[in-house]
Amino acid sequence: MCQDFARKVVRALVAGVTVTRREIEDEASAINALGTHEHLIEILRHGWLDPAESCYYIDMELCERDLSSFIWEPLDSSSFSCAQHPQYLTDQHPPIWWRTTDIMRVNFQLVSGTEYIHRKSHVHRDLKPTNGICPFIAS
């Protein structure tokens, strides 16, 4: 079965700093030790790209967008209609509470995934919107 995937490549030499084989393989082992969780990206496979072991790859589930694109996505006011607030029908910057349900769902999923990682005695050291990959957000 052919599956689309995203590939992270870890180079053994980055900006003049050598990353050891052990450090690279420890990252992959830590990811494998997590197992599966509905709010974590699935790791499909990983290994060395070359015999010299200068590049390690991690193939992950491919997702359509990251959290940053969700955060900055323009709000769609076309479905909003409220007799008490007709000015919002033409407002270029509708109120954020229009997306409260989406925001709450995303926050729950982020906390759920992070809590799972912590329960497994691991820490995600690079949490940021561009690393929050969102297979779970419906447009």
pLDDT tens sequence across 56-70: 888 888 877 777 777
Instruction: Return d(Cα 45, Cα 95) in angstroms, integer.
Output: 43
pTM, to two decimals: 0.65
Residue bearing the bigger pLDDT, 120 or 84: 120
Residue 136's pLDDT is 47
Which whole number is the average pLDDT over 110-120?
Answer: 91
Instruction: Return d(Cα 118, Cα 10) in angstroms, integer.
Output: 24
CATH class of this structure's domain 1-62: alpha beta
* Domain ranges within the chain, ordered by starting residue: 1-62, 66-139
Phi, psi of 17, rounded to the nearest 5 degrees: -105, 125
